[in-house]
Amino acid sequence: MNVTIRAATATDFPLVIALANRIWPVAYGGNLSPQQLENLLTRIYCGENLQKEVLEGHRFWTAFAGDTAVGFASGYRKDTTIWIKKLYVLPEAQGKGVGRALMQTVIDAFTPAHTVRLFVNSENRSAQAFYERCGFAKEGPVLVQMGDFTFTDYVYAKSLS
């Protein structure tokens, strides 16, 4: 798949929100109730929250196959670590290099750094397998607060040096 990645600004947030609303029910539908999904999507993927993340140093990107948006990512750097905050690809575009292209874009934007890290929901086996194929190793579990809920995630890390 020929993928184009472009930096996203606040004017692109409606597109990011629309993608999240299509991707999350597939990615988390087996692990979260419809009420949890609605709560999290409403709180995390609203223009106000995304703008807050930008003000905290996060950057966003969108991925396109032709004119069709197929995914998005965000990340930030803290000290010598790049954190991938969000990386989501439409189910029909998965396995075609979109996720890897988005990941590399985030890494390239914040290098030099020693490590790249991210959180993966403990129930999201397909995402865990994807990151492991990309050279990440599971560091351990951590409790995360998202919206009104607490979940167990795994921290995954990859050395860049």
Number of neighbouring beta carbons within 10 Å of residue 91: 12
| Residue ranges making up the domain that contains 64 | 3-116
Q: Is 121 among the domain residues?
A: no
Per-residue confidence (pLDDT) for residue 157, from 0 to 100:
98
Residue whose tokens read 């979260």:
32
Q: Is 43 among the domain residues?
A: yes
Per-residue confidence (pLDDT) for residue 15, from 0 to 100:
98
Q: Is 161 among the domain residues?
A: no
Q: Is 19 among the domain residues?
A: yes
Q: Has residue 149 got a pLDDT over 90?
A: no
Q: How buried is residue 54: exposed, middle or buried, by Cβ count under 10 Å (0-12/13-18/19+)? A: middle
Q: Is 151 among the domain residues?
A: no
Q: Is 93 among the domain residues?
A: yes
Q: Has residue 107 got a pLDDT over 90?
A: yes
Q: Across residues 93-109, what is the average pLDDT?
A: 97
Q: How far is CA 47 from the centre of its chain?
A: 16
149/8 Cα distance (integer angstroms): 28
pLDDT in tens, 3-32: 999 999 999 999 999 999 999 999 998 888
Q: Is 96 among the domain residues?
A: yes
pLDDT in tens, 76-95: 999 999 999 999 999 999 99
| Structural domains of the chain, count | 1
CATH of the domain at 37: 3.40.630.30
Per-residue confidence (pLDDT) for residue 61, from 0 to 100:
98
The torsion angles phi and psi of 48, rounded to 5 degrees, stand at -60, -45
Q: Is 71 among the domain residues?
A: yes
Which contiguous run of DSSP H or E holds residue 88?
Answer: strand 81-89
Q: How buried is residue 69: exposed, middle or buried, by Cβ count under 10 Å (0-12/13-18/19+)? A: buried
Nearest to 153 by CA among 145, 26, 25: 145
Percent of the chain whose predicted confidence (pLDDT) is above 70 = 100
49/62 Cα distance (integer angstroms): 17
